[in-house]
Amino acid sequence: MNTVTLLPGEHLTVSNLGREGAVPAKITQAAANIIATVRAKGDAALHRYAAEFDGVDLTDFRVPQERIDAALEQVDASLIAALEKAAAQIRDFHQRQVRQSWFTTRADGTLLGVQVTPVRAAGIYVPGGRAQYPSTVLMNAIPAKVAGVERVVMATPPQRDGGISPATLAAAKVAGVDEIYLVGGAQAVAALAYGTESIPRVEKITGPGNAYVAAAKRLVSGDVGIDMIAGPSEVCVLADASAEAAVVAADLMAQAEHDPLAACYLVTESPELARGVEAALEVLLAQSPRAEITRTSLTDQGTIVIAPDLATAIDAVNTIAPEHLELHCADALGLVGSIRNAGAIFVGAWSSEPLGDYVAGPNHTLPTGGTAQFSSPLSVDDFVTSSSVICYTPQGLLADAPATQTMAQAEGLWAHALSAGLRRRLIDEGAPAVATKVLAEADLTAIAWPADDAATVASGVGRPTAQGEVR
């Protein structure tokens, strides 16, 4: 691992991290070509890419419903128990995120509020390749179902035999996935975004993937909703001298074994702990079945930051803005309030990051590559839309029209002001006053921009009653 030693008064900068970004330009171009081909040729393109990239010739991309229904018969009972426990805790956590529509009224009767509506169809991408990820199925499908999404569609690359991992299939059954398609990569994103002959389009795409998937999601964003542009997995461990070196080493490896591009950071005030962690890594790597991937990640993407004090160490953590942050410190809980940028915070020595990956309940689809500075974990909110609801009464219109017209005049938007002005005229003088023939002879600019004084703008105008009084 690369070591950065900060001197007193020196701060970690983004340039120290060597991040290259989630989507290189050449991959973006390749993804764009794939998307264009899928849009033009539909299923024919998917068959071509399945043969080219996955080495399979599929007659049908969709997994039959009867196979999904029988999924739990294909895996061990212990795995079913683990999936069901994880699902229950994920569901419980995400149910607490559900937002209700709400409405309020002003004294003048104006009704304002928010209507919350689930998207009709959501596509979740589940990676294949180096490993199978049933946990990703749970973390994406369950929030969608909690949100009320009617159609949850899963896309995942086919295995070499043209099938699907039994564990992934079982997770889909437990999570309530409605449709499964054996399509991977950028072509899967394109199919979900635009539809093909056999795959109806969705309104939102979530889930992690390789660089081609990330590039495709970025390219289709705007035509369809996406959760985030996810780069390689990453962890940052903030540790003091109280931490166990071997435990910290194992936690770093837990991310490194995902991908050679996975990034691992150790931030500490203790040079002794740093040396202990490096020694422990060698011991643990000697027996790792994924030693090659893990070592490549640690060597190429791993960084140890040695800070002169805790404040500088915390500042370094906030600069890294990691996907996962572990606080291996004596006063771990007391440090949480100092953390501004992190996808998920694991507090204390017992809070192993893999617990969050699988069963804790909070979502493990998290912002990567420093995007935790402005992005949040996947949640129920990603599967709903919010519509503002605005319902004025005549009294409310008279209260707000003068301010509206004044602001419209300041912006030079005549018709904006006229829209409110005609309503004022309708209330004051009745329907004949806004008849087209009458308006043809009227000074419309005077109606649009009546030059209300400050008091009128602030408080509005009263509504005449039948007796000519104003209320």
pLDDT for res 469: 44
> Residue 422's closest CA among 437, 406, 403, 444?
444
pLDDT for res 15: 85
State the residue for tokens 């008849």: 435
Determine what percent of the chain is predicted with pLDDT higher than 70: 97
Amino acid letter, 8: P
C-alpha torsion angle, residues 99, 100, 104, 110 (rounded to 10): 100
Over residues 369-409, the pLDDT tens digits come to 999 999 999 999 999 999 999 999 999 999 999 999 999 99
- Using the 8-state DSSP alphabet, how is residue 463 labeled? P
User: By 3-state DSSP, what share of the chain in percent is helix, strand and coil, each rounded to 5?
Assistant: 50, 15, 35
Over residues 415-467, the pLDDT tens digits come to 999 999 999 999 999 999 999 999 999 999 999 999 999 999 999 998 655 44
At residue 24 the predicted structure's pLDDT band, cuts being 50, 70 and 90, is confident
- Using the 8-state DSSP alphabet, how is residue 423 labeled? H
pLDDT for res 464: 56
Average pLDDT (145-162) is 95
At residue 470 the predicted structure's pLDDT band, cuts being 50, 70 and 90, is very low
How would DSSP label each residue in 24-76?
-HHHHHHHHHHHHHHHHHTHHHHHHHIIIII----S-SBPPHHHHHTGGGGS-
Statement: 2-20+231-360 belongs to CATH 3.20.20.60? no
Which tokens belong to 76?
């061990």
- Using the 8-state DSSP alphabet, how is residue 464 labeled? B
pLDDT for res 303: 96
pLDDT for res 466: 47
Counting beta carbons within 10 angstroms of the beta carbon of residue 403, is it exposed (0 to 12), middle (13 to 18) or buried (19 or more)?
A: middle
Q: How far apart are CA 27 and CA 215, in angstroms?
A: 7
**Residue 208 · residue 125 · CB < 8 Å:** yes
DSSP-assigned beta bridge partners for residue 221 = 224
Q: How far apart are the first and last CA of the chain?
A: 75
Q: Among the options 179, 234, 323, 353, which is catalytic? A: 323
CB atoms within 10 A of CB 466: 5
In this predicted structure, the answer to whether residue 291 has a pLDDT above a threshold of 60 is: yes
In this predicted structure, the answer to whether residue 74 has a pLDDT above a threshold of 50 is: yes
In this predicted structure, the answer to whether residue 17 has a pLDDT above a threshold of 90 is: no
In this predicted structure, the answer to whether residue 131 has a pLDDT above a threshold of 90 is: no
Confidence (pTM): 0.91
Q: Among the options 258, 324, 328, 364, which is catalytic? A: 324
pLDDT for res 22: 65
pLDDT for res 463: 62
On average, the pLDDT of the chain sits at 94
**Residue 79 · residue 167 · CB < 8 Å:** yes
At residue 310 the predicted structure's pLDDT band, cuts being 50, 70 and 90, is very high
Which tokens belong to 128?
């294949």
Q: How far apart are CA 318 and CA 335, in angstroms?
A: 12
Active site residue 323: yes
At residue 222 the predicted structure's pLDDT band, cuts being 50, 70 and 90, is very high
Over residues 154-184, the pLDDT tens digits come to 999 999 888 999 999 999 999 999 999 999 9
Q: How far apart are CA 189 and CA 199, in angstroms?
A: 11
What superfamily would CATH give domain 25-228? Nitrogenase molybdenum iron protein domain (3.40.50.1980)
* Helix, coil or strand: residue 374: coil
CB atoms within 10 A of CB 29: 11
In this predicted structure, the answer to whether residue 471 has a pLDDT above a threshold of 60 is: no
**Residue 366 · residue 372 · CB < 8 Å:** yes
Which tokens belong to 14?
């983004």
C-alpha torsion angle, residues 46, 52, 56, 59 (rounded to 10): 30
Locate CATH 3.40.50.1980 in the chain.
2-20+231-360, 25-228
